[in-house]
Amino acid sequence: MAKSREVGFGSARKLIRGTISCGSLAAMLLAAGCGTSAPKDTRAADEATLRNLDAQWAKSAAAKDVDAAVGYYSDDASLLAPNEPIASDKTSIRAAWSAMLSPDTTLNWSASKVEVAQSSDLAYIMGTYQLTTTDPKAKPMADRGKFVEVWKKQADGSWKAVADIFNSDLAAQAPKPAPTAAKKAGRHHAKRKGRGSRST
C-alpha cells in the first residue's frame, strides 16, 4: 500500500513538474509575443525631412533650375496647375515648369503645415506661394495663392511628391464682353455716315 502511494506521489510530482514546465514555456512564449514592439514612430523625423525637402525645392525654383524642380516628383506624379490639363508624366511636368520658370518670372513658396501618416509612408504639405511676372508690355503682374503637395516614401526610403496642386487667391478676371450685333451695326453706320459727311 505504501509502495503504491509512493508511486502515486511520484507520478503526481512528475505531473506537477510537467505542468509547471509547460506553464513556464507558455509564459515565455507569451512574453516573447508581447515583447514584439510596434514599428518605430518616425513621424517627427519625417516631418523635418519633408520641411527641408520642400524648402530646397523652393530654392531650386527661385534659381530657375527646371531639372532640379522636376526631380522632386516621383515617376508617376501628377501636377494640377490652374487653367491647365493634368500633367501626369515627367515630360508634361517639365514643360509646365519650363513655362513657370521663364526669365521674367519670380516664384517662391513656403510650407505652413506638414502632416505625416502614422504609417510614415504618406504625407501632405500645405502652404502659400507668390508669383511675379511681366506681361508682354513689361508691366509687372503679381499673383498669390495656396498649394497642397502629397508626398510618398519610396522603396529606397526617400520622399517624392506624387501630387501637386495650386491655385490663386485672386479673383478670376472676367473676359471683356464681345460687342453686341446692335452695337456693331451702330458703329458701322456711324463710320459710313462720317465718311459721307467728310466727302461733301
In a domain, 110, yes or no: yes
Find the domain containing 96 and state its range. 43-167
User: Can you give the pLDDT at residue 138?
Assistant: 78
Residues of the chain with pLDDT under 50: 5, 7, 9, 12, 15-16, 19-20, 22, 190, 193-200
Alpha-carbon span 93 to 91, nearest angstrom: 5
Grid cell for residue 160: 517624392
109, 129 Cβ separation under 8 angstroms: yes
Residue 67 inside a domain? The answer is yes
Number of domains into which the chain is organized: 1
3-state secondary structure of 38: coil
Residue 145 lies in a domain: yes
Give a yes or no: residue 55 inside a domain. yes
Residue length of the chain: 200
Per the CB < 8 A criterion, the answer to whether 162 and 121 are in contact is: no
Instruction: Quote the CA–CA distance of 194 and 112 in Å, as a whole number.
Output: 62
Q: What are phi and psi for residue 106, nearest 5 degrees?
A: -120, 125
Phi/psi-derived region of residue 190, left when phi > 0, alpha when psi is between -120 and 50, beta in every other case: alpha
What is the torsion angle, in degrees rounded to the nearest 10, for the CA atoms of residue 124, residue 131, residue 88 and residue 66? -100
Q: For residue 25, is it within any domain?
A: no
**CA–CA dist 85, 11 (Å, integer):** 83
CATH label of the domain that carries residue 60: 3.10.450.50
- Which residue, chain included where needed, has cell 495656396? 146
For residue 62, being part of any structural domain is answered with yes
- The confidence score (pLDDT) of residue 27 equals 53
Domain presence at residue 196: no
Strands 73-80 and 159-168: parallel
In a domain, 190, yes or no: no
Q: pTM of whole model > 0.85?
A: no
